[in-house]
Amino acid sequence: MRRHRFTRLFQILLLVLPLLAFSCEDTHRPVYLSWHDFRESFKVGKARKMITKGKIYATQSAIFVSEPNIGIHVIDNSDPAAPVKVCFLSIPGNLDCTGKDNCLYADSFTDLLVLDISDLHNITLIKRIKDVFPYNEFQAAPDDENFIYYGAVDEERGVIIGWIKE
């Protein structure tokens, strides 16, 4: 009799435990950057280590490597045998870049940035063209979730720069 109770209890636990695991799913809450702060966020900083490599744009003497959603690494390649990291362009929401003449064009969430790259040691923002691209809340989805939609996004609060797992 006692053994039957233990077996029955064990069977119930085997049925209930998986249900409990599924009911404790993680949820994610978006982290916003206000539209004002987003539009003031372009910065030229010191060269830094590349963590995630994205798209690459190259000229005769320079290489620009996108770090998805963070910015662009600038490398002086005038001597291909000894490339030199010059700086890092902080561009939230950047996924792609291209260029023509002395201009680099880079996306930044909804905006298009036009940068003067004629002097790699003095890169400047020529123009920010607002709202060129549609708002895309999937762009900053949690890295481990492969761009899964997590619920209503309040576009009025700004752009999503990350997610907090709860």
pLDDT, residue 125, reads 98
Look at the chain and report how many structural domains it folds into: 1
Residue 6 forms part of a structural domain: no
Check if the beta carbon of residue 107 is closer than 8 Å to that of residue 60. no
**pLDDT digit string (tens) for 32-73?**
999 999 999 999 999 999 999 999 999 999 999 999 999 999
Residue 12 forms part of a structural domain: no
Q: State mean pLDDT over 75-95.
A: 96
Residue 15 forms part of a structural domain: no
Half-sphere exposure of 138 (CA within 13 A, CB side): 5
Check if the beta carbon of residue 99 is closer than 8 Å to that of residue 73. no
Residue 85 forms part of a structural domain: yes
Residue 21 forms part of a structural domain: no
- What single string gives the DSSP state of each residue in 2-25? HHHHHHHHHHHHHHHHHHHHHHT-
CATH number at residue 147: 2.40.10.500
DSSP secondary-structure letter at 107? E
Choose the weakest-confidence range: 31-40, 42-51, 111-120, 148-157. Answer: 148-157
pLDDT confidence tier of residue 9, bands split at 50, 70 and 90: low
Residue 60 forms part of a structural domain: yes
Per-residue burial over 71-82, b = 16 or more CB atoms within 10 Å of its CB, e = otherwise: bbbbbbbeeeee
Residue 14 forms part of a structural domain: no
Residue 11 forms part of a structural domain: no
Instruction: Indicate the residue type of 93.
Output: G
pLDDT, residue 148, reads 54
Q: Which helix (H) or strand (E) holds 36?
A: helix 35-39
- Residue 100 structural domain: 28-165
Tell me which residue of 90, 45, 60, 57 sits closest to 72, measured CA to CA. Answer: 90
What is the rounded distance in angstroms from the CA atom of residue 54 to the CA atom of residue 138? 17
Q: State mean pLDDT over 137-145.
A: 54
